[in-house]
Chain A
Amino acid sequence: MIRRALLGLLLALTLTGPAWAVNPDERLADPVLEARARTLGKSLRCLVCQNQSIDDSNADLAHDLRVLVRERLSAGDSDAQVLAFLQARYGDYVLLKPPVDPATWVLWFGPAAVLAIGVGVLVVRRRPVPAAPAPLTPEERARLDLLMAGGDE
C-alpha cells in the first residue's frame, strides 16, 4: 500500500511543469491578455536577481512588475508601450533581449565581424596555386623512356 502511494507520488512529480513564479492571484481573467502578459514577462529582466525574467523570479519587485504589466495591458497599452514604460524607468537593462543600437552593435554584429575578418585573412593569405609543370622536352622524354626501360647503362 505504502509502496503504491510512493509510486503514485513519484509519478505525480514527473507530471509537474516548470515552476513559474506567476501566482494565481496575479493572473488576468482574459486569456488573451494573460498570454500577452506571459510573453512580456518572459522578456523582462528581474532587476533584483538580474538573470531571471520577472516571470521566473519570486522577488517582491518582480511580483510588482508582473502586476504592473497586467494593469497596463488591461488599460489598453500595446506590448511595445508596456516595454517602453519600463524601459523609461529601468533602462535597456530591463529587457532580456537588448535592442539593436550603437551601444550594442558589438554584441549583435561582433561575431559576424570576427568571422568576416577570419574569412578575409584566409582569402588574402591563400597561397597561389602552383603553375602546372612544363611538358617534357623530347630529350627529357627520351631519357625518361630509357630509364624506365630499366637500362643500367
Chain B
Amino acid sequence: MPPENKTPLGRRLLFLLPVVAFVALASTFALGLGHDPTVLKSAMIDKPAPAFDLGPVMANKPGLSRADLGGKPMLVNFFASWCAPCRVEHGTLNGIAASGIPLVGIAYKDKLENAQHFLGDLGDPYQKVGLDLDGRTAIDFGVYGVPETYIVDKEGRIRFRYAGSLTDDVLKTEILPRLAALEHP
C-alpha cells in the first residue's frame, strides 16, 4: 500500500480547511467590495413616523404635520436649497408628482426665501411642504444627510428610507415596487 493512503480520511479533510477558510474569506471580501459603508440602515424602519408640525414654505400651500401622513402610502422627501444632490433629484421628483404618487416635502434647515426660490425655479412637486428650520424633525426621522426619501405606509409607519439622490432608475427599482406592495398587499 503506498504510504500516502495511510493518512486517515479525517486528517486528509483537515488539509482542506485552509482552502475552505480562504474561499470563505475571499467571498466575504468580494461581497464587501459592492457594499457602500456610507449608506446606513435606518433604525426607523417599521416604526411609526415621529410627531411633527411644520410651518408652510409656499404661500399657496399648507405646512406639513404628522396628521398628514398615513391614509395611503406616500413619499416623504427631505430636501434643501443649499444641497446640490437635491437639485439633481428634483427632475425625478417632478416626474413622481406628474405620475400622481403622493409626495410631501420637508425643507431641511433652509431659509424660507431660499426654499421658496428653489421650488419656484425648479418646480414644486410636493402636495404639502413643511419647513424644518432647526432640523429636529429630520433628527426624529433619523435623517443623516439630505436628500433622503421615506416611504410611509397607510398606517403612518416608516417602511423604507432611500438616502441620496433619487433617479428614475432608483425610482423604478427601489421605490415603485415597494409602493405597489403597500398599495396591494
Contacts and interface: CB of A to CB of B under 8 A. Distances in A.
Interface residues of B, number: 18
A1 B40 CA distance: 56
B62 to A, nearest CB: 26
Interface string B110-145: 000000000000000000000000111001111011
B44 interface: yes
Interface string A88-107: 11111100000000000000
Contacts of A89: 43-44, 139-142
Nearest to B109: A60
A48 interface: yes
A78 interface: no
B40 A93 contact: yes
A83 interface: no
Given A50-B37, A50-B38, A68-B139, A61 B43 contact: no
Say which size band chain A's interface belongs to: 10 to 19
B94 interface: no
B42 interface: yes
Interface string A18-60: 0000000000000000000000000000011010000000001
Contacts of B144: 47-48, 61, 90
Interface in B27-52: 37-38, 40-44, 47
Given A89-B43, A91-B40, A91-B43, A61 B145 contact: yes
Nearest to A86: B139
Given A48-B144, A48-B145, A65 B43 contact: no
Contacts of B134: 64
A81 interface: no
B94 to A, nearest CB: 27
Nearest to A51: B37
A108 B39 CA distance: 24
Interface string B140-152: 1110110000000
Nearest to B41: A91
A90 B43 CA distance: 5
A147 B135 CA distance: 98
Contacts of B141: 89
A99 to B, nearest CB: 13
Given A64-B139, A90-B142, 12 more contacts: A47-B40, A61-B135, A61-B144, A65-B139, A68-B139, A87-B43, A89-B43, A89-B44, A89-B139, A89-B142, A91-B43, A91-B142
26 contacts: A47-B40, A47-B144, A47-B145, A48-B144, A48-B145, A50-B37, A61-B144, A64-B134, A64-B135, A65-B139, A68-B136, A68-B139, A87-B43, A88-B43, A88-B47, A89-B43, A89-B44, A89-B140, A90-B40, A90-B43, A90-B142, A90-B144, A91-B41, A91-B42, A91-B142, A93-B40
Q: Which 7 A-B pairs have the closest CB atoms?
A: A91-B43, A47-B144, A89-B142, A64-B135, A90-B142, A90-B43, A93-B40
